[in-house]
Structures are given as C-alpha cells and as structure tokens.
Structure 1
Amino acid sequence: MAQLDLIAQSARRHAAAQEWDELGVELLKLAVANRGVWNAPGAGLLDELRALPAQRREALADALVAQYHSAEAGPNARRNALTLIGVVTHDLPGERLLTERLERLDELGRRQTFWYLERQEVLAEAELAAGRTLAPAVVAVFRRAALDAYRDEALPALAAKLTEPVLNVGEEWAEQALRDADGVSEWQDLLRHATTATASKSSAKWEKQARALIEPLGADRVREAVVPWLALVGRRTFELERGQYEGDVNNSFDPYNANALRGLVWTLALLPSHQDTVRALGGLVETALKKVPGLGPRNPKVANAAVGALSRIDGAPALAELARLATRVTYKGTLKLLDTALETRARALGLSREEIEELAVPAYGLTEVGRTERQLGEVTAVLEVRGTRVALGWRSPAGKAVKSVPAAVRRDHAEELKELKAAVKDIDKTLSAQSDRLDRQFVADRRWSYDAWRERFIDHPLVGTLARRLLWTVDGTTVGFADGELRTLDDAPLAGDLVAAGVEVRLWHPVGHEPAEIVAWRDWLERHAITQPFKQAHREVYLLTDAERATGTYSNRFAAHVLRQHQFNSLAAIRGWRNRLRLMVDDSAPPATRELPHWGLRAEYWIQGEGENYGEDTTESGSYLRLTTDQVRFYPIDAPENSASTYGGEYRMWLPNGTDPVESLPIADIPPLVLSEVLRDVDLFVGVASIGNDPTWQDGGPEGRFHEYWTSYGFGELNQGAETRRVLLERLVPRLAIADRCTIEGRFLHVKGERHTYKIHLGSGNILRTPNDQYLCIVPAAGSASPTTGYLPFEGDRLLAVILSKAMLLADDTSITDPTILSQL
C-alpha cells in the first residue's frame, strides 16, 4: 500500500504541473501495480481526473494513447490505458482507440464476470454514448458483474440501461426462449417480468402482474413453451473463459438468467396442475443442485423456487415428485423445504410423514405389479419393470416382438408415444428413489398393519417390484414372495391366520437371527432366482467387539483411515448423514453426524482435515482433499454439538451458558440394529472413499506419505463388506466360464493366466502378480459394463463387478491389447 500511495502522490504532482506524458506513465504504473483495480488510493485519483477541465483531459487522453502505442507498454498496461481513456473522455468529442476498445469489449464478453473496481463500465458507456449497441455476450457480462457489485452504483446503473436482449445469451434454454419470444411482445413482457424475481418468494403484487401477463398468451400456451425451456437448463451454447479464482463457470448458472428461471418457475405455479409441469420442476431441482467443482451446487435458489412451486401445485403427481425428491436431495436448505412441504401435506390430510410418502407413490399407468399393456392402433406397447429399470417393448398385431417403435405408432400416436417414453423415465427415477427409501426403513424401524402394507408395498404396481424381492416379518414369521404368494422358508404359503388386518409387518433384518437361518434364506432367494434391490439377506452385520467393550463409549473400528473428502461428503449426504466440508482456513467444524429420531440417538464419526500444504493438500478454494478418521460415538439426540479444529485436535462439546456436558453413551447400550446400521454406513464411507482402493496411488501420494497406509489397506485384512463379497464369490466363481482358472484363498481371488498368476484383493480390487507379488495397476474404465455372471443375489456392489471384470481380463491375458497394461506384464 505504501508503494501505491507514493505512485498516487507522484501522479498528483504531475497533474498539478500539467505534465501529461509523465502523468500517463504514473497512472499506468499505479494500475499495473494494483492489478487493474481502482480502489484507494486509485479511486480518489480517478475522481480528480474526471473533474479536470475538458482541455486538460484531452491532453491527458492523448498522452495515454501515446502510452498505449509505446513499445514499453505490455498487455496489462494497454488494458488499463483503455479504461483510463474512457474515464477522462466521458463527455469529450471524438473517439480514441475505437477499434481497440471494441476488441477489449469482445474479450470481456468471453468472461463470466469482472470485479467492479476494474471500472470496465467506462468502455460500455463510451459505446452507448456513441449511439451504438453492445453485443449480447457483452451485455451478459456487464449484467453478471452488476449483480456482484458491492456498494457501487456505476455498474448497476449501466446494467439498468441494457434492456436488450431480455435474457443473457450463452445458455441454451435462454436462447431458445429468446427465439420463441422474438417479435411477440406478450412473451417479451412475460420474460422481462420473470427477470425481476430477485426475492426468495413471490409477492402478491408480483403474482398479480404475472397473471395479467399470462392471460393474453393463455395458460396452456405458457406451459407448452416454458416446460421445454426447463429441459434445456444446464447446457451452454458457447464456453466462457475461467478466471484465476473462479470455479467451473461453464457448469454453473448465469446468475442473471437464474432470476428469470425463478420467475418462470413461479409462473408455472400459477397455472393449472399438469404432469408435464411437475416433471419439469422435479428435473430442474436436480439440475440446479448438481455439484460443480469449486462452486458447490449449481444454483440452490432455483432449486428452492422449484420446490416451492411443487408445494403449491395440487394433486397426486406433485406430491409424488416432492416425496421422490426428498429421497434424492442432499443439499440441506432444499431438503428442509422438501421436508416442510411434505409435513404440511401430511398434517392437512391427517397422516404421518411416512404415510404420506408411501401413499404418494404413483402407479405411472401400470395395471399390474411391474407391467402394463397399451393398445396403440394394431400395435401393443408393453411397459415392464426389470429389476430397477423399466423396458418399453412392442408387439405386432400377430403378437410378435418388435425391436423398434413401429412407424404406425410414430405417425398416428405421437402424443401417446411421448407419454410412454416420459413414463419410462419417471419410473426409472422413482424406482431408484423407492429403493433408497426402503433401504432406510431398517433404522426407521417402521411397522405396518397387514392390510396397509399389502396395499402400499406388495400389491402396489410400482413399489411391488421392489417389495416382492425383499424379506418381511409378518407377526414374527419371516416370509418372501415367490410364485405369486407370500411363502415361508419351507416354501409353504403364509398361513391364513397371519393375514388379519391388525397383524404387524416389519422389514426383515439379519441382526438377531442365527447364521444358519440367514444362510437358509440366502439359499431360498437363490432357489427362486430373486435378486434383491439392495443387500438384505446378504447384509453385513456389525456386532459389538471385545475392543469396543473395552473402550466403553466409542468404536475405533474405522479409525486411522485416509479418505477423499469430497467423495466422503457425497456418500454421507446420500446415507442421511450431516457433514460439513473441512476448509484449511476454518477454525473448527462438527463431526459427521446422523440423527436417529426413532431411537433418540445421534451418531458421530470424528474426522479431521489431512495435510498442511495449501494447493497440494487442498483444492484451489481451500477445502481439504483428504480426511483422516477417528472414533464413532453415540449421544442423546438433543446433546450439545461437539467440534474440533479442522486440521486436528480433540473434539470438545460446545456448551451454552449454564449447560453441563453430556457424555457419550456406552456403546454396549446401543440397540444392536442401530449399531450395525451406523457402522455399516461408516464401513461404506471407508470402503468407497479410502485412497487405499485407488489403483493409481501406488506411489503413496504427495511425498509418498500415504504409501504405508495404501499398502496396508489395499492388501490387508478384509472388512465386513469384503467378507460378504468373499462368501458370495465362493458360490459364484464355480459358475463362471473361467472357473477352472480361479480359486479363492483368504483375502484374494487367484486367477491363472497364460503369462502370470494374479491375486485380486477382495476388499480393494488391487492386483498382485507373479513373480514376487509385483503390483499390477489396472484402472477400470468409467461406466464400463459389468461382466455376464448369471444370477446375482443383490444389486449395487460395484466393486464386485470390477473384481469379476479384472478376473475375466486376466484369465485371458494373452489377448490383452491395452499398452498400459501390457507394459506391466
């Protein structure tokens, strides 16, 4: 700052002496030294220059033009010279450096934004003063910059003059809206009104004006235009340059257009209820909450507006979409709005939150469990659920299966075809959400009367495709669904006296059951070729250990691991845990926590940021790349919150005045089902997010400091999930085409190839090969298809598919063509 003050003082002396060439040099020095930012002391100096008489400003402008063209001026000096010329010539005749100014504006149009203290608005003001319009991309950057301007009037005042185009270009939805509105004043007025949606909620005044603008267009016409626009949200028409401290700007929302999106969402809420509207709003929530590196969710404000609109729309489809989103959304603010909306609906109907979610699941036109047929002329459309996906097939008039959509259907039944394809997408989304919801019922300890359970689960056209693949306890008797009936372990139909309306039904959990019974049910599922939507009969069980009895109030079972922080954070949110990203600049943070209201408990997983080097151990924004893990503890749900330094140290309970500390509960007192499910979550976090299962970390990461951990995890003892995988592979491997080349020994699947023998670790998927257990790095391709293995008893174990894919590849190692793998063989 002292250097800047000295330069500013020198500039003032030259200005007083009317030494314009010297003043120009000093001004550019000041601008370059302060990186083009005109704050103190530069801001006051600009005000003084503006106040100079016109003749003196002309002399200074000419001096700056000379400096611009001088051999000594670099690109930074030239950019600042253009700004300074704009400042001092704001009301002078003639245009200096016009071509250069237009080129600079074109450069600005390729940026996301700029800091208002750069004073780039003088370039735009010069164009407007000359009677010319700005290019749409340039208008867009000034509008975005105006939204970021802090205690500044110049940029917002300029943005207020930039009324065309109505929306910012660069986003596909906005450009489509501009094309649709071109030459139609009613559409222009509606879009302009949408851009004024800058508050968190619409006001009565805003809605009154919106209704008046909808009327000349008609509700149907508005919906039929806006819904397709929402489907385009998230796509860009041209790329923006990323600034030094900006995140992935091309995957974020234009903030000016985001206001318009919010306004259009509010507008849809004023229209009559329609399935297309509901579908579009639900999709917008998910698009707006998609996470962008360096930024977080794309635009929670738009997502929240869409949830608010859904909560105002009457009818079962909107309720179903709210319930579906509640199982998928992890962003805290939006999830709170979803919870409030569902609880409000539940109270209005005199139901519990759980009941409203169960009753809200639509059938999507399915007329029987997992299936429906629809006649379209002479062709029959068949919609059929297979696992957690739905297939749309066709039959000719002769009853023969047809692979593609018949031409007659495309020609004569376009609307019905469109709706069928939309139903396929809806069913796929809902099946995934319902599978997750059912998986969470273990800890919820939900119970139903037989009649209600039968209606909402077993016989529900959609949920029944999941429920019929699970095990249930009916009045204490475990049953599964096979051959059209509920059956016991010996395949006998469920006795009639157990299906009375008052009989209690629960989701079966292996905790508390003898190992022989669990194995018998696994055999039953295999005998009936039932693939469960998630692990149930094969679910890992985490029983209290002697070590945990000894520690008393905590578990160290999953301590001392190194996890990728952002992956851990995403997994925690999906599993219903609350967590905050650790930033190196933060003082403290609470542990990852999961509240268990049914049990009055709160589980905590203690974690801390790992590393000390900013930029190497953190992202550009300062969040840690990795975490180290510590204890799992349990507290009463209303106990004060613990916190610890983000970079390590003891967890302490934050206590309001006069509040006594609350000790963690004896781990032996935690109900076995709760303990098992919480530790299963934590095992999942470690199993997926650990750097030990990353084949590219052989070198141990930065400075090799994780090599010992990577080796011990990547080839060490199996955790509970890996033990489950080993037991399954023992049954599965003998059925494989490569069975004669495979054996399971301890922690490894051994595969005999022609070149070498290989050992695939069942916990990490890492590979050792002969001779001398040399490490072999094979990185699975993203989205690679799972190998054909025949029957699998459950869905969702990606690492199982990776291990099998590697085994298939290595068993035929003479056919490998990948040069990266060949170089290691």
Structure 2
Amino acid sequence: MSDPLAHVFDPGNGWSTRIRPHLTGLPPHLAELVLHLAASDAFWNWRYKVDTPWKRRTKALLKADGADALVRRAVRELAAGGSFHDQGDPEHVIREIGQVKPPSPARPLAIGFLLACGWLRADTDGLSADLALVARKNSQAMDTYHRVDHEIAGAAFTALGDLPGSAAMEELWDLHQRITPSIHPQRVLVKSVKRAAARLGIPADEFAERTVPRHGLEPDGTLTVGWIGRGALWWNASVDAVITLHDTGTVTVDWSDDNGRTTRTTAPFRTPNGYKTPLRTDSITLVRRYAQDIAKTLAAERARLASLADAPDRTWSWHDWSRHYRDHPVTGVVTRSLEWEYRLPDEDAFRPLDPADLDAGGAVPATARVRLRPAAAG
C-alpha cells in the first residue's frame, strides 16, 4: 500500500528525515492533519497572512488525540541543528551568496507545523523556546550563520504572537530587540509583539521599554560591518566599517580603506575623500543610515527616561531593570548617565545605587527594587 504522505517529505532534507518516522503509520485523523498542514503554501505567502478557513480547519484538526504531541515534536526537531536548511557553518555565508536553490517539498509542511503551534492550548515543554530558536536561526539572529528563510521565520513569529501565556511574550520581547528591521518578516514580528502584549494587558510604559531595538550592537557598543565573511553575519556589505555608540552618547563610524587606514566620522557620518566608489555606494548609504538610526534611538531613550521624573513611584525588579536598562546597549548609555537607587524588601528607604552596580559588577540582592532617583531625574 502506498504512503499517502510520501509526497510531503524530502529525502534530501534533514528535518524531513528526522520527522518522517513520527509521521509514518498515523491514524487517519492525524494523517489528515499532516496533509492539511502540508498545504500551508496555498494559504501562507510573503504577506504573512493566514487564510481564515484554513486556520479554522487547522484548529479543528488539532483537537484530535495525539495532534498536540505531534506538532510539538515536529517543531522541536525544526529547532535542532541547522534548522530546516541544515546549515550552521559560518563559512556557508560565503558559498551561498547569490545562489538560488529550488524549494524543498517539505517546506510547506514545516511552515504548517509552525503556524499550528500558535493554536495549541498550552505553552508547555519549552514550546515557545523552540519557536524562538527556529525564528532566530531563520532570521540570522545567531552568532553562527544559518541560511535565512523569511517564510519560516515569519511563521514562527506569528505562532509566538498567538501562543497563550507569558513565556511566549518573553521570547517575543527578546526577538523584537534583536531582529534587524532590514529583514522582510520583521513587520510580522512587530505585529505579533503588539498582539501578544495587548492580549496580556501589558502597560504602554512597559511595552516601550521592552521594545527598544539593540541595533545589533555588541555589549561594548560596537557593530562591525564587513565584506562577505567579515563583520556582522547578517550584513554582508562591500565596505569595512565599525559603528560605535560611546558611553558619552556619541555615535561614530570608523571607515577602513583598502590600505588599512581608518578614518573616524560623526554625524552626518560622511566618508573620507575618495572613499566612495560605485561598488561601495549602496553599502555606504546603509552604514550611514544605520548609524543615524542608532542616534535617533538614543535620543528617544533620553526623552523617555527623562519622562520618568514624572513617575517617582515607578520601580523595577532588579532583574527587569538590569535587563532592560543597565545591560541594553542603547538604553544602558542613558542609564549610566543618571542616578539610581534601590530598596530591599524589608526596608522603607531607598539607598543610592553604587556606580559599580551600573557596570554589572556590583552585588545588589536580586530581591531589590530599583527606581530613578527623583532629584536626579531629567
């Protein structure tokens, strides 16, 4: 007897090979689910919108016994290794540039499983973490290179936005900060974050502080841009430059020429004489625009933190303050320019926060509450 699911697999795809044993010999109701999910390409396109009848049918099929576990297993395997495209080697960034590969017949099934995750009844067994890992690997938000797949990343973003519970929200906060706006599905990520935050009733002030972009900056405030195989993995530019956000609040760009000479410029980040060539023009424009965007984010954060003077009762847990203020590469610059204080649970008065704690080297108890010192605000 022929396998009715044979056409949804791809013998040349690692994820398809790993998941096939779990999709073989399924009862009719689960086989129907798999076939339905494998048709996701007819209802999911570059606009990242799910067809309502297809979504309604998916939800109905997910109620069957065994469907929940099957979907979770498929996504867990999709998060493993090199994700769908089986690539996690930084050297692939060189070999793949300009190459167009035919789509795998298993790709619609992978997208279907991802979308179905958002309609499961509970976020358990690390489901949101698996979805976030799939999203990172397919949107190049990792330290090592993985082949980018916008539709797969968009499906993971969408599922996280639909998934109930706070764990998915935490993953979305992190993705929103780290995913570069230059990738096509970033817009669906923004919509997913807004949708999940609205569902959970996240206040506007918390939403603002948790969605400040990191702009790809390292903890030391730098972003290295380089030719293929150098600099940020998600940005292959025909120029060598380092964008730096300094603790002084100044943004600089260090341009390196073919002779190894480096010239530093500040806003409006013009390049040295003779540096711009036809090959570099587009990349130079992108670098300058990126530096300008960092400066704009910094200015917006200065204004936002200054407005905290109007909310003297606003406090943060030590964990949240460290994550969203002290350790953020942009917000942290403003944070270190202000005076903060903290209070322990058994104390009534606040005490000044030592500068060492602003540099992540102090020893404030994790139970502390932090606030902007009222006299120093603004």
What is the percentage of aligned positions where both structures have the same residue? 14
Equivalent in 78, 90, 104 of residue 255 of structure 1:
104
Q: Secondary structure at the match of 1:279?
A: helix
Instruction: Indicate if the aligned counterparts of 1:172 and 1:232 stay in contact, CA closer than 8 A.
Output: no
- Separation (CA, whole Å) in 2 of partners of 1:649 and 1:321: 36
**Match in the other structure for 2:319:** none
Instruction: Indicate if the aligned counterparts of 1:346 and 1:356 stay in contact, CA closer than 8 A.
Output: no
Q: How far apart are 1:634 and its partner, in Å?
A: 1.1
Instruction: Indicate if the aligned counterparts of 2:40 and 2:108 stay in contact, CA closer than 8 A.
Output: yes
**Match in the other structure for 2:170:** 320
- Separation (CA, whole Å) in 2 of partners of 1:236 and 1:653: 33
Which runs of 5 or more residues in structure 1 are unaligned? Answer: 1-132, 137-161, 240-244, 359-435, 442-533, 541-560, 574-578, 584-588, 612-626, 637-642, 655-663, 665-669, 675-680, 682-792, 796-825
Instruction: Indicate if the aligned counterparts of 1:644 and 1:650 stay in contact, CA closer than 8 A.
Output: no
**Match in the other structure for 2:277:** 645
1:264 paired with 2:264, answer no
Q: Secondary structure at the match of 1:605?
A: strand
Deviations 1:485-505 (A, max 9, x none): xxxxxxxxxxxxxxxxxxxxx
Equivalent in 248, 253, 269 of residue 605 of structure 1:
253
Instruction: Indicate if the aligned counterparts of 1:197 and 1:263 stay in contact, CA closer than 8 A.
Output: yes
Q: Secondary structure at the match of 2:121?
A: coil
- Separation (CA, whole Å) in 2 of partners of 1:644 and 1:193: 52
Equivalent in 110, 132, 151 of residue 282 of structure 1:
132
**Match in the other structure for 1:191:** 34
- Separation (CA, whole Å) in 2 of partners of 1:268 and 1:593: 38
**Match in the other structure for 1:758:** none
Q: How far apart are 1:197 and its partner, in Å?
A: 1.9
Equivalent in 16, 22, 34 of residue 174 of structure 1:
16
Instruction: Indicate if the aligned counterparts of 1:609 and 1:647 stay in contact, CA closer than 8 A.
Output: no
- Quickly say closer, same or farther: Cα 1:311–1:224, change in 2 above 3 A: closer
Matches for 1:45-444 after TM superposition, within 5 Å: 164-184=6-26, 185-198=28-41, 199=45, 200-232=48-80, 234=82, 247=96, 255-275=104-124, 276-290=126-140, 297-330=147-180, 332-333=182-183, 334-346=185-197, 349-352=202-205, 357=210
Equivalent in 632, 636, 641 of residue 265 of structure 2:
632
- Quickly say closer, same or farther: Cα 1:223–1:580, change in 2 above 3 A: closer
Q: How far apart are 1:308 and its partner, in Å?
A: 1.2
- Quickly say closer, same or farther: Cα 1:284–1:595, change in 2 above 3 A: same
Tell me which amino acid in the other structure corresponds to 2:96: G
- Separation (CA, whole Å) in 1 of partners of 2:72 and 2:237: 41
- Separation (CA, whole Å) in 1 of partners of 2:140 and 2:197: 28
Deviations 1:590-625 (A, max 9, x none): x887899xx9x99563747859xxxxxxxxxxxxxx
Count residues with an aligned counterpart.
264
Instruction: Indicate if the aligned counterparts of 2:225 and 2:236 stay in contact, CA closer than 8 A.
Output: no
- Quickly say closer, same or farther: Cα 1:284–1:649, change in 2 above 3 A: closer
**Match in the other structure for 1:807:** none
- Indicate the RMSD between aligned Cα atoms, in angstroms: 5.5
Query: Which TM-score applies when normalising by structure 1?
Result: 0.26
Instruction: Indicate if the aligned counterparts of 1:191 and 1:260 stay in contact, CA closer than 8 A.
Output: yes
**Match in the other structure for 1:242:** none
- Separation (CA, whole Å) in 2 of partners of 1:320 and 1:256: 33
- Separation (CA, whole Å) in 2 of partners of 1:203 and 1:562: 39
- Larger RCO of the pair (alpha carbons < 8 Å, separation 6+): 2
Q: How far apart are 1:224 and its partner, in Å?
A: 4.4
Tell me which amino acid in the other structure corresponds to 1:215: K
Equivalent in 238, 248, 261 of residue 582 of structure 1:
238
Instruction: Indicate if the aligned counterparts of 1:173 and 1:233 stay in contact, CA closer than 8 A.
Output: no
Query: Which TM-score applies when normalising by structure 2?
Result: 0.51
- Separation (CA, whole Å) in 1 of partners of 2:194 and 2:244: 20
- Separation (CA, whole Å) in 2 of partners of 1:568 and 1:235: 23
- Separation (CA, whole Å) in 2 of partners of 1:650 and 1:274: 43
Q: How far apart are 1:303 and its partner, in Å?
A: 1.3
Which runs of 5 or more residues in structure 2 are unaligned? Answer: 88-93, 270-274, 287-291, 293-297, 303-328, 330-358, 362-378
- Quickly say closer, same or farther: Cα 1:316–1:568, change in 2 above 3 A: same
Instruction: Indicate if the aligned counterparts of 2:85 and 2:147 stay in contact, CA closer than 8 A.
Output: no
- Quickly say closer, same or farther: Cα 1:316–1:565, change in 2 above 3 A: same
Q: How far apart are 1:304 and its partner, in Å?
A: 1.7
Deviations 1:188-211 (A, max 9, x none): 332222222222332102112212
- Quickly say closer, same or farther: Cα 1:629–1:352, change in 2 above 3 A: farther
Q: How far apart are 1:260 and its partner, in Å?
A: 1.6
- Quickly say closer, same or farther: Cα 1:339–1:195, change in 2 above 3 A: same
Instruction: Indicate if the aligned counterparts of 2:227 and 2:236 stay in contact, CA closer than 8 A.
Output: no
Q: How far apart are 1:247 and its partner, in Å?
A: 2.7
The structure with the largest alpha-carbon Rg is: 1
Q: How far apart are 1:281 and its partner, in Å?
A: 0.4
Deviations 1:469-519 (A, max 9, x none): xxxxxxxxxxxxxxxxxxxxxxxxxxxxxxxxxxxxxxxxxxxxxxxxxxx
Instruction: Indicate if the aligned counterparts of 1:569 and 1:581 stay in contact, CA closer than 8 A.
Output: no
- Separation (CA, whole Å) in 2 of partners of 1:203 and 1:270: 14
